[in-house]
């Protein structure tokens, strides 16, 4: 009995372990698949954007596009303008890197911090006067304190501090606005600033500065306490801000007093020398550095410059991204290849079935006959160009024939015919998706028309055209000396009647089946398919869209 219990315990434990593993898998694996789907979508769309921007760049140079990835890459890599732009960015980053390193030298950073926070205290004392005036003692102390700090900040007792603070501010401002200057000019200004700082900042008398600031800092502290005791705390947060500014100012002074001064001076000298070396490099590369500093390439330029062979292939299937150039070579579409072959494969048998529908040949004969009537009428009108009545009668016929194109059954025929003509040669998923949608709508129209035996405005327009043709023939019969080779439209009218009868008799039992098939295919174009992972988990596979005329399909949504 004990033995059986032991075996049961082992089986139970094993089952618990298996269930725990399954539970973890159910949580972890779907999350990994979703992350993979998102990553692949982002990469694929980034690839399409890079190719599109490269094609635009290629077009600017050659006034044409190319479907050859090797040719596109060659042109991009050989273009000197992009290389110069990248060189400008690299140089700019090198210079700003030196500027950033310089202002982060501990002593330089602490002087800048002290100077900045003293200035912020003064700004708050000035900007909050409207609140201080409610309390005479606070108002008077704030005004007097502001005056004394201003005197301290501009005192001739600390000339090297004043100069150092001003030049550090100039360096920070230059760093921020470097793109307003040519890179060479920016380097020259940086060199001048660091050369001056190298001389003056080692002469700053920190102890004297701290001694002069101490009583002012104490007064700021007292003012803060008075404000916190008053109702001003409900109206302004000036006390809390000034408390932080005072704290940062005091701490920066203490850091300057404790700094390894010789080490900071040596580091400042080293960076100043590197700035000088960089300036000499910039002088030698004037073609690039004479341009305005550039922190980073524009996104489009960066994509073009960093285009590689890998960008041309889909991260999901490995298929090559579609590069589709318009017939007149003036526009280009870059499209994801995912599911395009599968969609064509699904549509091909539907195309063959549609070709064999009796209604397709019936509508073709009718529409061809309309074109023939229009052509014949136009020829007669030209021969009898002096006859105003014939001209007017022809224009009435022509206008009615044009209106046939707007009839829903004729539009549906056109959509189905477009599918027949386009599917075999199209390489565009989005084009095939649109064709599928239109063809589905067309089949639905015909299914309803033949089920209910109603064809919308077709009968009405057909009757209108018949009347117009009769009127045209009547006018012809009244023309004296009518050329013998001019034949009226009577026979054409008889043919048109027969073709209309053919259309109405072209009902096909396959319409319902085609509607069902196209419905499933359209669902496929919208929802994609799935790929099984680890036996039970599904990864979603969808087409990632396209870029056409600068518009990205995924952004339009």
Q: Return the sign of the alpha-carbon dihedral for residues 385, 391, 395, 398.
A: negative
Q: Does residue 85 sit in the same domain as residue 149?
A: yes
How many angstroms separate the CA atoms of 251 and 110, rounded? 9
Nearest by Cα to 471 from 486, 496, 491, 490: 490
How many angstroms separate the CA atoms of 164 and 271, rounded? 16
Among 299-313, 332-346, 401-415, name the one with the lowest average pLDDT.
Answer: 299-313
Q: Does residue 229 sit in the same domain as residue 114?
A: yes
Contacts of 58 (CB under 8 A, 6+ apart): 64, 65, 66, 72, 75, 76
Q: Does residue 225 sit in the same domain as residue 373?
A: no
Which of 281, 302, 323 is the endpoint of a domain? 302
CB 106 within 8 A of CB 262: no
Whether 177 is covered by a domain: the verdict is yes
Give the residue-averaged pLDDT of 503-518: 94
Domain count along the chain:
2
Sorting pLDDT into bands at 50, 70 and 90, what band is 374? very high
Q: Does residue 295 sit in the same domain as residue 353?
A: no
For the purposes of burial, counting CB atoms within 10 Å of the CB of 522, is it exposed (0-12), middle (13-18) or buried (19 or more)? Answer: middle
Given the structure tokens 């973890």, which residue do they identify? 24
Q: Does residue 261 sit in the same domain as residue 360?
A: no
Q: Does residue 152 sit in the same domain as residue 238?
A: yes
How many angstroms separate the CA atoms of 204 and 493, rounded? 107
Q: Does residue 141 sit in the same domain as residue 227?
A: yes
Main-chain dihedrals φ then ψ at residue 448, nearest 5 degrees? -70, -40
Specify the pLDDT at position 275. 96
Specify the pLDDT at position 2. 46
Q: Does residue 291 sit in the same domain as residue 215?
A: yes
Structure tokens at 380: 């007669």
How many angstroms separate the CA atoms of 531 and 338, rounded? 13
- pTM for the complete prediction? 0.72
Whether 546 is covered by a domain: the verdict is no
Nearest by Cα to 428 from 416, 436, 417, 439: 436
Whether 555 is covered by a domain: the verdict is no
Q: Return the sign of the alpha-carbon dihedral for residues 347, 349, 352, 356.
A: negative
Question: For residue 290, what are the domain limits?
Answer: 81-302
Give the residue-averaged pLDDT of 476-495: 92
Which of 302, 329, 348 is the endpoint of a domain? 302
Whether 311 is covered by a domain: the verdict is no
Whether 425 is covered by a domain: the verdict is yes
How far out from the chain centre does Cα 151 lie?
54
Specify the pLDDT at position 5. 55
Q: H helices within 356-457, ranges in order? A: 358-383, 388-403, 408-422, 429-452
Q: Does residue 510 sit in the same domain as residue 415?
A: yes
How many CA atoms lie less than 13 Å away from 346 in the CB half-sphere? 23
Whether 297 is covered by a domain: the verdict is yes
Give the residue-averaged pLDDT of 463-470: 96
Q: Does residue 414 sit in the same domain as residue 486?
A: yes
Give tens-digit pLDDT for 5-55.
556 688 787 777 777 766 766 676 678 878 999 999 999 999 999 999 999
Which of 302, 331, 353 is the endpoint of a domain? 302
Specify the pLDDT at position 327. 85
Give tens-digit pLDDT for 404-451.
999 999 999 999 999 999 999 999 999 999 999 999 999 999 999 999
Sorting pLDDT into bands at 50, 70 and 90, what band is 1? very low
Q: Does residue 222 sit in the same domain as residue 151?
A: yes
Specify the pLDDT at position 14. 78
Give the chain's count of helices (H) and strands (E): 22, 6
Whether 40 is covered by a domain: the verdict is no
Q: Does residue 284 sit in the same domain as residue 378?
A: no
Whether 414 is covered by a domain: the verdict is yes
């Amino acid at each position: 009995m004990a033995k059986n219990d032991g075996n049961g315990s082992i089986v139970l434990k094993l089952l618990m372990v298996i269930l725990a593993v399954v539970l973890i898998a159910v949580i972890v694996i779907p999350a990994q698949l979703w992350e993979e789907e998102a990553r692949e979508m982002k990469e694929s769309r980034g690839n399409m954007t890079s190719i599109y921007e490269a094609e635009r760049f290629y077009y600017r140079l050659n006034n044409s596009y190319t479907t050859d990835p090797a040719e596109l890459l060659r042109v991009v890599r050989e273009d000197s303008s992009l290389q110069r732009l990248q060189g400008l960015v690299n140089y700019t980053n090198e210079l700003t890197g030196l500027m950033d390193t310089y202002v982060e030298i501990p002593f330089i950073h602490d002087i800048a911090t002290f100077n900045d926070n003293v200035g912020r205290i003064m700004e708050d004392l000035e900007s909050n006067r409207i609140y201080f005036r409610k309390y005479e003692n606070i108002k008077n102390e704030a005004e007097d304190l502001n005056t004394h700090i201003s005197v301290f900040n501009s005192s001739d007792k600390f000339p090297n501090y004043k100069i150092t603070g001003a030049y550090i501010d100039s360096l920070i401002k230059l760093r921020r606005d470097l793109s307003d200057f040519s890179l060479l000019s920016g380097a020259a200004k940086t060199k001048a600033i660091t050369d001056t700082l190298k001389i003056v900042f080692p002469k700053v008398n920190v102890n004297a500065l701290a001694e002069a600031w101490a009583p002012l800092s104490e007064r700021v502290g007292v003012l803060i306490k008075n404000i916190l005791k008053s109702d001003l705390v409900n109206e302004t947060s000036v006390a809390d801000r000034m408390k932080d500014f005072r704290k940062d100012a005091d701490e920066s002074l203490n850091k300057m007093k404790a700094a390894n001064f010789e080490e900071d001076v040596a580091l400042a000298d080293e960076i100043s020398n590197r700035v000088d070396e960089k300036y000499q490099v910039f002088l030698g590369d004037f073609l690039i550095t004479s341009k305005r500093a550039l922190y980073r390439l524009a996104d489009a330029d960066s994509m073009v410059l960093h285009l590689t062979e890998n960008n041309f292939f889909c991260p999901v299937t490995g298929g090559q991204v579609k590069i589709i150039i318009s017939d007149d070579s003036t526009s280009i579409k870059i499209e994801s290849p995912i599911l395009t072959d599968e969609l064509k494969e699904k549509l091909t048998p539907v195309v063959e079935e549609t070709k064999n529908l009796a209604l397709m040949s019936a509508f073709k004969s009718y529409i061809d006959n309309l074109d023939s009537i229009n052509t014949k009428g136009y020829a007669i009108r030209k021969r009898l160009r002096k006859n105003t009545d014939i001209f007017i009668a022809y224009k009435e016929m022509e206008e009615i024939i044009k209106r046939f194109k707007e009839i829903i059954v004729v539009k549906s025929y056109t959509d189905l015919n477009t599918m027949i003509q386009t599917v075999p040669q199209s390489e565009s998923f989005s084009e095939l998706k649109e064709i599928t949608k239109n063809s589905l709508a067309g089949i639905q129209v015909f299914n309803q028309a033949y089920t209910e035996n109603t064809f919308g405005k077709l009968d009405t327009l057909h009757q209108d055209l018949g009347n117009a043709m009769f009127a045209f023939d009547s006018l012809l019969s009244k023309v004296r000396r009518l050329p013998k080779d001019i034949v009226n439209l009577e026979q054409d009218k008889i043919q048109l009647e027969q073709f209309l009868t053919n259309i109405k008799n072209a009902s096909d039992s396959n319409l319902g089946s085609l509607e069902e098939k196209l419905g499933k295919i359209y669902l496929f174009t919208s929802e994609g398919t799935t790929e099984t992972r680890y036996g039970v988990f599904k990864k979603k596979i969808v087409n990632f869209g396209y870029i056409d005329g600068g518009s990205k399909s995924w952004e339009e949504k």
